[in-house]
Amino acid sequence: MSRPRNGEFDLWIRLTGGERSFYVAGHRFVKSNSGQIIIDNGTFELEEAMEVGHMLVSINPVARLSAELAICEKNGTLVKVVLVAALMLLAIIVLLLIS
């Protein structure tokens, strides 16, 4: 998958008309009517979305991971993953205590 250059992303985010959505590293960025950016169903302010977009195309793997976690946190996926992991850990502890 080719990565868009920062210039393409910056141009899209600053344009008021034209394309309503833009894909960066497999994530869909959509402009809302209120001026916010929706990334994979998570709502971001314009500055946050710009930072996340730049982090996603960074060569730094830690920056890319941070962007992925920010997206997961905003769209609710991170909470679900942590909840499932906690329930699995609780089940393991209960099974160990019973046996």
pLDDT in tens, 42-61: 999 999 999 999 999 999 99
Residue 4 has pLDDT above 60, yes or no: no
The whole-number average pLDDT for the span 10-14 is: 83
Instruction: Supply the pTM of this predicted model.
Output: 0.79
User: Under a CB-based contact definition with an 8 Å cutoff, are residues 71 and 52 in contact?
Assistant: yes
- Extents of the domains making up the chain: 6-98
Task: Give pLDDT, residue 1.
Answer: 45
Sequence-ordered list of residues with C-beta below 8 angstroms from that of 31, at least 6 positions apart, any chain: 20, 21, 37, 38
